[in-house]
Copies of this chain bind each other. A is one copy, B any other.
Amino acid sequence: MSTVMLHAVVSVDGFVADPHDDPGPLFDWYFNGDQPLAAQDMADPSPGGLRVSKTSYDHVRPVWDAIGCMVIGRQLFDITNGWEGRPPTGDHVVVVSHRPKPEGWHPEASYSFVDDVTAAIATARELAGDRMVALTAGDVGGQALALGLVDEVAMDVAPVVLGSGKRFFGSIDTQHLLEDPHVVVQGDRVLHLRFRVRR
């Protein structure tokens, strides 16, 4: 049965981006090393290619390899234009949205548009098979946690106080216990933490 992992890079005060959706220095660790993180980064000599430290690579790469399907909100889809049909991790993407897939948008890509969080996670679990579902933190992620649909919380904590912005757990206002972190890995400008959700 597929595990659902809620994930993002986050500031020490719990934000995943500033109020204008800019992650700013939260993403420094994606570009401050010499290890290309993905196949497309190996081929990409541009400054846009992800280059992380060896420590972060050794942590992140196996996690990415274990992902079968991503679940994202419509806002992230719109900002990235769905990564032009190529999911950064896994083979499938489920977009939680009241609006349908844009007409003519990359018909070859395995992107599903579902307007309900519970249904979206169920679809993603099916698509992921034995692999993990990676759910992007934010409003949709917080709703999923509140609904009891999240198995694990993965926070890549950047040593930054953002002060304000988009919250990792969205507008959730209920209390949830996690287990002690089973992963604590210190990279360069990031501390990788993974916690299982306590049942």
Contact = CB atoms under 8 A, between A and B. Distances in A.
Given A161-B177, A180-B191, A184-B186, 18 more contacts: A12-B153, A12-B168, A12-B195, A13-B14, A13-B167, A18-B175, A145-B161, A153-B161, A159-B177, A159-B195, A160-B178, A162-B175, A163-B172, A163-B176, A164-B173, A180-B189, A181-B186, A184-B191
Interface in A30-68: none
How many copies of this chain? 2
A19 to B, nearest CB: 9
Nearest to A19: B173
Contact of A161 (B164, B176, B193): B176
Interface in A136-186: 145, 153, 155, 159-164, 167-169, 172-181, 184, 186
23 contacts: A12-B195, A13-B167, A13-B168, A18-B175, A25-B175, A25-B177, A145-B161, A159-B177, A159-B178, A159-B179, A159-B195, A160-B175, A161-B176, A161-B177, A163-B169, A163-B172, A163-B173, A163-B175, A163-B176, A164-B173, A180-B188, A184-B184, A184-B191
